[in-house]
Amino acid sequence: MIELTSGTQMPEIGFGTGSATTEAMVSALHAGYRLLDTAQMYGNEAEVGDAVRLSGVDRAEVFVATKLNNGNHDPVAVRETFAKSLETLGFDYVDLFLMHWPMPMLDVDYVDTFKAMLQLTEDGRARAVGVSNFTPAQLERLIDATGETPAVNQVEMHPYFPNDEVRSFCRESGIVVQAWSPLARTDQFGDAVLTGIAQRLGVSTAQVMLRWHLQRGVVAIPKSNSPERIAMNRDIYSFELGEADMAAITALDKGEDGRRGGHPDTFTG
Protein backbone atom coordinates (compact mmCIF):
# COMPACT_ATOMS: atom_id res chain seq x y z
CA MET A 1 0.00 0.00 0.00
CA ILE A 2 1.05 3.58 -0.69
CA GLU A 3 0.15 6.41 1.66
CA LEU A 4 -1.18 9.54 -0.01
CA THR A 5 -0.65 13.03 1.36
CA SER A 6 -4.21 12.86 2.72
CA GLY A 7 -3.26 9.83 4.82
CA THR A 8 -5.37 7.54 2.64
CA GLN A 9 -3.82 4.16 1.82
CA MET A 10 -3.82 3.24 -1.89
CA PRO A 11 -2.90 -0.11 -3.48
CA GLU A 12 0.24 -0.11 -5.63
CA ILE A 13 -1.48 -1.59 -8.70
CA GLY A 14 -4.98 -0.96 -9.98
CA PHE A 15 -7.50 -2.13 -12.56
CA GLY A 16 -8.65 0.17 -15.35
CA THR A 17 -12.37 -0.13 -15.99
CA GLY A 18 -12.66 2.10 -19.08
CA SER A 19 -13.52 -0.71 -21.50
CA ALA A 20 -14.09 -3.46 -18.95
CA THR A 21 -17.26 -5.48 -18.54
CA THR A 22 -18.86 -5.87 -15.13
CA GLU A 23 -17.72 -9.49 -15.22
CA ALA A 24 -14.13 -8.41 -15.82
CA MET A 25 -14.29 -6.04 -12.86
CA VAL A 26 -15.59 -8.83 -10.64
CA SER A 27 -12.79 -11.08 -11.93
CA ALA A 28 -10.27 -8.38 -11.06
CA LEU A 29 -11.57 -8.12 -7.50
CA HIS A 30 -11.52 -11.91 -7.15
CA ALA A 31 -7.93 -11.91 -8.48
CA GLY A 32 -6.91 -9.59 -5.66
CA TYR A 33 -7.10 -6.11 -7.20
CA ARG A 34 -8.28 -3.56 -4.67
CA LEU A 35 -8.09 -0.38 -6.78
CA LEU A 36 -10.76 0.25 -9.42
CA ASP A 37 -10.23 3.26 -11.69
CA THR A 38 -13.26 4.79 -13.42
CA ALA A 39 -14.37 8.22 -14.67
CA GLN A 40 -17.47 10.21 -15.43
CA MET A 41 -16.27 10.16 -19.05
CA TYR A 42 -16.35 6.35 -19.18
CA GLY A 43 -20.08 6.17 -18.44
CA ASN A 44 -19.61 3.02 -16.38
CA GLU A 45 -19.73 4.18 -12.76
CA ALA A 46 -22.93 2.17 -12.22
CA GLU A 47 -21.18 -0.99 -13.42
CA VAL A 48 -18.23 -0.33 -11.11
CA GLY A 49 -20.57 -0.06 -8.13
CA ASP A 50 -22.38 -3.21 -9.22
CA ALA A 51 -19.09 -5.09 -9.58
CA VAL A 52 -18.02 -4.26 -6.04
CA ARG A 53 -21.36 -5.43 -4.65
CA LEU A 54 -21.43 -8.58 -6.82
CA SER A 55 -17.87 -9.52 -5.89
CA GLY A 56 -18.64 -10.00 -2.23
CA VAL A 57 -15.60 -7.89 -1.34
CA ASP A 58 -16.38 -5.36 1.37
CA ARG A 59 -16.62 -1.79 0.07
CA ALA A 60 -14.15 -0.62 2.71
CA GLU A 61 -11.51 -2.91 1.19
CA VAL A 62 -11.82 -1.46 -2.32
CA PHE A 63 -10.12 1.79 -3.32
CA VAL A 64 -12.45 3.43 -5.84
CA ALA A 65 -11.26 6.35 -7.97
CA THR A 66 -13.32 8.38 -10.41
CA LYS A 67 -12.60 11.48 -12.47
CA LEU A 68 -14.27 14.79 -13.26
CA ASN A 69 -15.41 15.05 -16.86
CA ASN A 70 -13.89 17.76 -19.02
CA GLY A 71 -17.11 19.73 -19.39
CA ASN A 72 -17.70 19.90 -15.65
CA HIS A 73 -14.92 22.26 -14.56
CA ASP A 74 -17.21 25.01 -13.28
CA PRO A 75 -17.17 24.86 -9.45
CA VAL A 76 -20.96 24.40 -9.30
CA ALA A 77 -20.73 21.59 -11.85
CA VAL A 78 -17.94 19.99 -9.82
CA ARG A 79 -20.22 19.66 -6.81
CA GLU A 80 -23.31 18.61 -8.75
CA THR A 81 -21.64 16.01 -10.96
CA PHE A 82 -19.62 14.59 -8.08
CA ALA A 83 -22.86 14.04 -6.15
CA LYS A 84 -24.26 12.34 -9.26
CA SER A 85 -21.20 10.10 -9.46
CA LEU A 86 -21.72 8.96 -5.88
CA GLU A 87 -25.38 8.26 -6.63
CA THR A 88 -24.50 6.32 -9.77
CA LEU A 89 -21.82 4.30 -8.01
CA GLY A 90 -24.15 3.66 -5.10
CA PHE A 91 -21.48 4.70 -2.61
CA ASP A 92 -21.32 7.30 0.15
CA TYR A 93 -17.77 8.27 -0.78
CA VAL A 94 -14.94 7.68 -3.23
CA ASP A 95 -11.37 7.14 -2.18
CA LEU A 96 -9.95 9.40 -4.88
CA PHE A 97 -11.45 12.08 -7.15
CA LEU A 98 -9.29 13.28 -10.03
CA MET A 99 -9.57 16.13 -12.53
CA HIS A 100 -9.39 14.16 -15.77
CA TRP A 101 -7.56 16.80 -17.86
CA PRO A 102 -6.35 20.35 -17.10
CA MET A 103 -8.19 21.81 -20.13
CA PRO A 104 -6.24 25.12 -20.01
CA MET A 105 -8.22 26.48 -22.97
CA LEU A 106 -11.48 26.59 -20.98
CA ASP A 107 -12.88 29.81 -19.56
CA VAL A 108 -12.84 28.13 -16.14
CA ASP A 109 -9.36 28.07 -14.59
CA TYR A 110 -8.33 24.60 -13.44
CA VAL A 111 -7.17 26.25 -10.20
CA ASP A 112 -10.78 27.16 -9.39
CA THR A 113 -11.88 23.67 -10.38
CA PHE A 114 -9.37 22.13 -7.99
CA LYS A 115 -10.43 24.44 -5.16
CA ALA A 116 -13.98 23.15 -5.58
CA MET A 117 -12.70 19.59 -5.54
CA LEU A 118 -10.79 20.23 -2.32
CA GLN A 119 -14.06 21.22 -0.65
CA LEU A 120 -15.37 17.70 -1.27
CA THR A 121 -12.81 16.30 1.15
CA GLU A 122 -14.19 18.35 4.03
CA ASP A 123 -17.13 16.03 4.68
CA GLY A 124 -15.29 12.86 3.67
CA ARG A 125 -17.21 12.23 0.47
CA ALA A 126 -13.86 12.33 -1.34
CA ARG A 127 -11.10 10.83 0.78
CA ALA A 128 -8.45 12.37 -1.47
CA VAL A 129 -8.34 14.56 -4.58
CA GLY A 130 -5.82 14.79 -7.36
CA VAL A 131 -5.34 15.42 -11.05
CA SER A 132 -4.68 13.56 -14.26
CA ASN A 133 -2.58 14.50 -17.27
CA PHE A 134 -0.93 17.54 -15.64
CA THR A 135 2.51 18.78 -16.65
CA PRO A 136 5.08 19.94 -14.07
CA ALA A 137 4.34 23.57 -14.97
CA GLN A 138 0.61 23.05 -14.46
CA LEU A 139 1.21 21.24 -11.18
CA GLU A 140 3.51 23.96 -9.93
CA ARG A 141 0.96 26.65 -10.76
CA LEU A 142 -1.81 24.66 -9.07
CA ILE A 143 0.20 24.15 -5.88
CA ASP A 144 1.30 27.79 -5.74
CA ALA A 145 -2.25 29.06 -6.25
CA THR A 146 -4.02 26.76 -3.78
CA GLY A 147 -1.36 25.94 -1.21
CA GLU A 148 -2.42 22.30 -1.60
CA THR A 149 -0.64 19.43 -3.31
CA PRO A 150 -2.69 16.96 -5.37
CA ALA A 151 -2.49 13.48 -3.89
CA VAL A 152 -2.11 11.84 -7.31
CA ASN A 153 -1.26 12.71 -10.90
CA GLN A 154 -2.39 10.02 -13.34
CA VAL A 155 -0.55 10.31 -16.65
CA GLU A 156 0.31 8.35 -19.76
CA MET A 157 3.41 6.31 -18.98
CA HIS A 158 4.99 3.23 -20.53
CA PRO A 159 8.45 2.12 -21.74
CA TYR A 160 8.16 4.12 -24.97
CA PHE A 161 7.06 7.19 -23.01
CA PRO A 162 8.51 7.03 -19.46
CA ASN A 163 7.40 10.63 -18.83
CA ASP A 164 10.37 11.09 -16.50
CA GLU A 165 10.03 14.86 -16.16
CA VAL A 166 6.57 14.43 -14.67
CA ARG A 167 7.65 11.48 -12.56
CA SER A 168 10.61 13.39 -11.10
CA PHE A 169 8.57 16.49 -10.30
CA CYS A 170 5.86 14.42 -8.63
CA ARG A 171 8.36 12.45 -6.57
CA GLU A 172 9.97 15.66 -5.34
CA SER A 173 6.56 17.15 -4.54
CA GLY A 174 5.08 14.15 -2.72
CA ILE A 175 2.58 13.38 -5.49
CA VAL A 176 1.94 9.71 -6.26
CA VAL A 177 2.06 8.91 -9.98
CA GLN A 178 -0.45 6.57 -11.57
CA ALA A 179 0.12 5.28 -15.11
CA TRP A 180 -2.65 5.00 -17.65
CA SER A 181 -1.80 2.99 -20.76
CA PRO A 182 0.98 1.30 -18.74
CA LEU A 183 1.35 -1.39 -21.41
CA ALA A 184 1.15 1.05 -24.34
CA ARG A 185 -0.45 -0.93 -27.15
CA THR A 186 -0.05 -4.48 -28.35
CA ASP A 187 2.60 -3.47 -30.89
CA GLN A 188 4.99 -3.05 -27.97
CA PHE A 189 4.60 -6.68 -26.93
CA GLY A 190 6.89 -7.73 -29.77
CA ASP A 191 9.76 -5.47 -28.72
CA ALA A 192 12.99 -7.50 -28.67
CA VAL A 193 14.22 -5.97 -25.40
CA LEU A 194 10.97 -6.69 -23.59
CA THR A 195 10.47 -10.17 -25.00
CA GLY A 196 14.08 -11.08 -24.25
CA ILE A 197 13.73 -10.10 -20.59
CA ALA A 198 10.36 -11.86 -20.35
CA GLN A 199 11.70 -15.11 -21.81
CA ARG A 200 14.73 -15.09 -19.53
CA LEU A 201 12.56 -14.58 -16.44
CA GLY A 202 9.78 -16.92 -17.54
CA VAL A 203 7.06 -14.27 -17.39
CA SER A 204 4.94 -12.36 -19.90
CA THR A 205 5.97 -9.14 -21.59
CA ALA A 206 3.08 -7.39 -19.85
CA GLN A 207 4.36 -8.59 -16.48
CA VAL A 208 7.80 -7.18 -17.28
CA MET A 209 6.34 -3.76 -18.08
CA LEU A 210 4.14 -3.74 -14.98
CA ARG A 211 7.08 -4.77 -12.79
CA TRP A 212 9.09 -1.91 -14.36
CA HIS A 213 6.38 0.52 -13.25
CA LEU A 214 6.29 -0.97 -9.76
CA GLN A 215 10.05 -0.64 -9.27
CA ARG A 216 9.86 2.97 -10.47
CA GLY A 217 7.36 3.73 -7.72
CA VAL A 218 4.48 4.16 -10.17
CA VAL A 219 0.96 2.77 -9.67
CA ALA A 220 0.06 1.08 -12.96
CA ILE A 221 -3.58 0.83 -14.05
CA PRO A 222 -3.72 -2.01 -16.63
CA LYS A 223 -6.92 -3.01 -18.45
CA SER A 224 -8.21 -6.33 -19.77
CA ASN A 225 -11.43 -8.30 -20.18
CA SER A 226 -9.65 -11.67 -20.05
CA PRO A 227 -9.75 -13.32 -16.60
CA GLU A 228 -6.43 -15.01 -17.34
CA ARG A 229 -4.67 -11.77 -18.32
CA ILE A 230 -6.29 -9.91 -15.43
CA ALA A 231 -4.81 -12.38 -12.97
CA MET A 232 -1.45 -12.52 -14.77
CA ASN A 233 -1.10 -8.73 -14.80
CA ARG A 234 -1.30 -8.65 -11.02
CA ASP A 235 1.20 -11.50 -10.59
CA ILE A 236 4.30 -9.29 -10.54
CA TYR A 237 5.65 -9.95 -7.06
CA SER A 238 7.44 -13.25 -7.67
CA PHE A 239 10.33 -11.73 -9.65
CA GLU A 240 12.44 -8.58 -9.82
CA LEU A 241 14.13 -6.66 -12.60
CA GLY A 242 17.83 -6.01 -12.21
CA GLU A 243 19.39 -2.60 -12.76
CA ALA A 244 20.47 -3.50 -16.28
CA ASP A 245 16.97 -4.63 -17.22
CA MET A 246 15.41 -1.50 -15.74
CA ALA A 247 17.84 0.69 -17.68
CA ALA A 248 17.28 -1.23 -20.92
CA ILE A 249 13.52 -0.81 -20.65
CA THR A 250 13.75 2.89 -19.83
CA ALA A 251 16.09 3.32 -22.82
CA LEU A 252 13.18 2.42 -25.11
CA ASP A 253 12.00 6.01 -24.55
CA LYS A 254 10.96 7.67 -27.82
CA GLY A 255 10.24 11.06 -26.27
CA GLU A 256 7.20 12.85 -27.67
CA ASP A 257 7.10 10.35 -30.53
CA GLY A 258 6.20 7.72 -27.96
CA ARG A 259 3.18 9.60 -26.65
CA ARG A 260 -0.05 7.80 -27.62
CA GLY A 261 -2.62 10.16 -26.11
CA GLY A 262 -3.21 13.89 -26.15
CA HIS A 263 -0.86 16.55 -24.81
CA PRO A 264 -2.05 18.26 -21.60
CA ASP A 265 -1.43 21.72 -23.06
CA THR A 266 -3.63 21.17 -26.10
CA PHE A 267 -6.03 18.28 -25.40
CA THR A 268 -9.63 19.44 -25.80
CA GLY A 269 -11.46 16.25 -24.88
30, amino acid identity = H
Concerning whether 42 is annotated as a catalytic residue, the answer is yes
- Catalytic site residue from 42, 110, 160, 237: 42
CA distance 264 to 120: 24
> What CA dihedral angle connects 160, 69, 30 and 27, to 10 degrees?
-80
**Contact by Cβ (8 Å): 180, 193:** no
User: Please, which residues have CB within 8 angstroms of residue 127's CB and are 6 or more apart in sequence?
Assistant: 6, 8, 93, 94, 95, 96, 121
**Contact by Cβ (8 Å): 198, 205:** yes
73 is in an annotated binding site: no
Enumerate the active-site residues: 42
Could you list the residues known to form a binding site for substrate, using ranges. 100
Could you list the residues known to form a binding site, using ranges. 100
